Amino acid sequence: MCLGAQNYNNIKDKFNQLSKKEKETLLLAVYGFSKETKTFLEGWFGLKDSDKEYIEQMKRETLYKVYMVRSRVPLEPDGQKVNQIISHARKAKVGFETILRLENMAYRGFIESLNEYGGGPENFEDMAANHMERYIKLIKLGIEDRAKQNNLLLELKNYLLDKRNMGTDYFVEVFELFSGIKIDHP
């Protein structure tokens, strides 16, 4: 047994030995530990629309950084934070539509940053492509309605055509590979 599993089992045993009052005290401490923990618990138990909180976090980390910059220095989305938002949302059991929207905002945030500033860290292309791939896979595997699938893929295709330049050819290739839809090359 790995150390993490052993520690978990020890914590579980000790938790089960607590009195009701001690459990309430611990839960209160955990609930107040951080904003993320609070949002997670509220979403887990369906007490708050945590979907909106995760969407706002993603907006602040991606598109707001690209377009709402108040300083002269452009801010770049942080790939680790973007992935963390999606991971936390999944763990909090947000709905499928929210995960779909978060992946959409993630790839667009990186593409918009690259497009707006003419470049960025080398890994921005990979992050944009990875999130776009996940978005396409979610559409194809999670949406049964073919018309809705086609509409979302057409929207993505048009987005890529609108942002088309030499730097976005890679995203067109990723789109074609995972969607099965060809984009006419000019």
Residue 33 belongs to some domain of the structure: no
Q: Print pLDDT tens along the chain (186 aa).
A: 565 677 888 888 887 887 888 878 888 888 887 777 777 787 777 776 778 888 999 999 998 888 776 666 678 899 999 999 999 899 888 889 999 999 999 999 999 888 887 767 778 889 999 999 999 999 999 999 999 999 999 999 999 988 877 667 889 899 999 999 998 765
- What phi and psi values does residue 28 have, to the nearest 5 degrees? -60, -40
Residue 19 belongs to some domain of the structure: no
Classify residue 128 by burial, with Cβ atoms within 10 Å: 0-12, 13-18, 19+: buried
Residue 161 belongs to some domain of the structure: yes
Residue 114 belongs to some domain of the structure: yes
CA dist 158 and 152 (Å) reads 10
- The residue segments making up the domain with residue 172 are 50-179
Residue 35 belongs to some domain of the structure: no
Residue 61 belongs to some domain of the structure: yes
Domain count, the chain: 1
Residue 22 belongs to some domain of the structure: no
